Structure 1
Amino acid sequence: MGLLIIAFSYLLGSISFGYLFVKYLKGVDIREHGSGSTGATNIMRILGVGPGVTVFLLDALKGFFSVYAAKTLTGNPYIEIASAVAVVAGHNWPLFFGFKGGRGIATSLGALTGLFPKVTLILAIIGFSVVGLSKFVSLGSVVGAVSLPFLIWFFVEGHNIPYLVFGTFLSLLAVARHIPNLKRIRAGTESKIGQRIKVDSRK
């Protein structure tokens, strides 16, 4: 059962809502535009706030549902952690879309909500505060990711070491996925929140 749930989590993560939205509405591959990511931030740049928020919520639900299924069907914290990793991996490297997906932030937040809601709330406050001050979503994502292991250490009781290892892995993965964004911030070419990219429809 545990292996089935982990496999299901990866396949669920592989459903790229961002790719599907832009393909349907614009007839183009979002991975060829903007940052090249299928995540909500790139969707906002191309389709606007409404579709971007919708994709963010759908991606987060993938993460939450994977952990919820693991909790409900097994109650095993190790299966829950593995399912969280699998759904984020599916989002980042989707089986159905040539293993090229997003950065995994929304999906990670959804999975973390299923595991430790208090940590996720604090994480969201930190991330959104940084975005509000800097106007860079990528910077808020990185600062939040770096904060994750410390928040788990202070606020999660029981299974501390496995959860801490998981949080550290998720943190390093998020930072690694955002290296191109950090380079663009340093070069002054990273798009700020609210900036739009014009994409000609091929439909």
Structure 2
Amino acid sequence: MTWLYLLPLLAYLLGSVSSAVVIARVMGLRDPRDVGSGNPGATNILRYGGKAAAILTLAGDILKGVIAVLIARALTTDDIVIVLSGFAAFLGHLFPVFFGFRGGKGVATALGVWLALSPPVGLALLGTWVLMAVLFRYSSLSALTASAAAPLYVAWLSPGMPYLVTMVIMSAILIFRHRSNIRNLLAGTETKIGR
């Protein structure tokens, strides 16, 4: 059964399929890595490609995380392999081998991973993001708040040290990936959702 340890590699390859880049090509839009913030994610696509492209990008990014975890869970009960598969899909989104390792910030894929690993945690993360987005209309602030709260949600709602360790690492990466947004928020120059 050592082949099961190849599942994280397969999950990484799945995560490496950049939804934003693929959707942009299919819809005849410019490469999101060369427009706006340069981030191949739903928020950047929304700003120049419209709602349909953004929704498709968001769905694709979430599904990468969900599918990676569900495939692993269907083939093994080993929590380490399952959690590593989700984490690998997340890393694939950040550093996609198919797109020159220029990936997104990972928020939607991380959400997909946790919706599949632990639905209560995933829903808590989604609820936090939506609440902050409604109150303040900053996608980055919503992501940062959810990332900061995520380890607490996992400690409370999802038993097992592998889950908590993985979430702490993912949260640290997510916050680091948003460092330019943090600077913009502090300077008052961050773009709001819908602008």
Q: TM-score range by the shorter chain?
A: over 0.9
Superposition RMSD in Å: 1.2
User: SS where residue 169 of structure 1 aligns?
Assistant: helix
Q: Which amino acid aligns with 1:170?
A: M
* Distance (Å, rounded) in 2 between the aligned partners of 1:26 and 1:4: 35
Flag structure 2 segments of 5+ consecutive residues without an equivalent: none
Match of 1:130 in 2: 132
Match of 1:193 in 2: 193
| Deviation per residue, 1:58-110 (Å, 9 max, x gap) | 11010000000111111111001111111011001100110001011111111
Structure 1 residue 27, shift from structure 2 partner: 4.8
* Distance (Å, rounded) in 1 between the aligned partners of 2:115 and 2:29: 33
C-alpha spacing 1:26/1:181, structure 2 compared with 1 (3 Å): farther
* Distance (Å, rounded) in 2 between the aligned partners of 1:113 and 1:27: 30
Match of 1:175 in 2: 175
Structure 1 residue 28, shift from structure 2 partner: 2.5
* Structure 2 counterparts to residues 62-81 of structure 1, below 5 A: 62-81=64-83
Greater RCO between the two (CA within 8 Å, min separation 6)?
A: 1
User: SS where residue 91 of structure 2 aligns?
Assistant: helix
- Asked if the contact 1:23/1:30 (under 8 Å) is kept, the reply is no
| Match among 20, 29, 36 for residue 31 of structure 2 | 29
Q: Which amino acid aligns with 1:119?
A: V
Match of 1:57 in 2: 59
Match of 1:96 in 2: 98
Matched residues, percent identical? 35
- Asked if the contact 2:151/2:167 (under 8 Å) is kept, the reply is yes
- Asked if the contact 2:89/2:109 (under 8 Å) is kept, the reply is yes
TM-score by length of 2: 0.95
Match of 1:200 in 2: none
Question: Does 2:119 align with 1:117?
Answer: yes
| Match among 148, 153, 156 for residue 154 of structure 1 | 156
Flag structure 1 segments of 5+ consecutive residues without an equivalent: 196-203
Number of residues of Structure 1 aligned to a counterpart in Structure 2 = 193
TM-score by length of 1: 0.91
